[in-house]
Chains A and B, each alone.
Chain A
């Protein structure tokens, strides 16, 4: 069955770089788009960006200058890197599988706290 699972450091210091991994199973990264979405505690959802089945990427323009999404198809992993982290980047980060323009499967999420 389709599964996604996020992993990451949990705590990141301000101004440092966040690296998250989304490990997928039950589908191929060369057939589906994988998207990152985040949710600050108690708040709504924000689309971060995506990597298409052909490896091309699209990013939220508000985050684009700090963001990189890549993949390792041999490991079925999608990687998110975001630099210059601030406290407002503290959130639960989800990876999702996109089907067309909606998200049909979600990972459980990983909490990222930006704090010194």
Chain B
């Protein structure tokens, strides 16, 4: 099973800041996918195939990475970005998710 480790577990940042969330896999994968989950709602696809923004996602978000190391970056943080972000791999069964990074806005 491919384990995805996300860091940090929780972070707080101020509006306008640049933040980077990371996701590391226990073995090399081809892509990572990211989901945003706001409190009390279902997850939403945010970034697919490492760097493709889902429909409606602001372009202050970006994704990159390869092999075992991936990241999601938010340029110029906004209050609406407060959420938990999960990464997910579809390279091997069982499909797995990271444990999430909870992003709080100061």
Q: Could you list which residues of chain A lie within 8 angstroms of chain B, going by C-beta atoms?
A: 35, 44-47, 58, 60-62, 94, 99-109
Contacts and interface: CB of A to CB of B under 8 A. Distances in A.
B90 A101 contact: yes
Interface residues of B, number: 24
Given A44-B86, A47-B95, A58-B93, 11 more contacts: A44-B97, A44-B100, A45-B86, A94-B43, A100-B49, A102-B48, A102-B88, A103-B35, A105-B45, A106-B43, A107-B42
Given A101-B33, A101-B90, A102-B49, A108 B42 contact: yes
Contacts of A109: 42
6 contacts: A45-B97, A47-B97, A103-B35, A103-B43, A104-B48, A105-B45
B70 interface: no
A103 B98 CA distance: 15
B86 A102 contact: no
B87 to A, nearest CB: 10
B98 A44 contact: yes
Contacts of A106: 42-45
Contacts of A46: 97
B95 to A, nearest CB: 4
A100 B97 contact: no
Interface string B34-64: 0100000111110011000010000000000
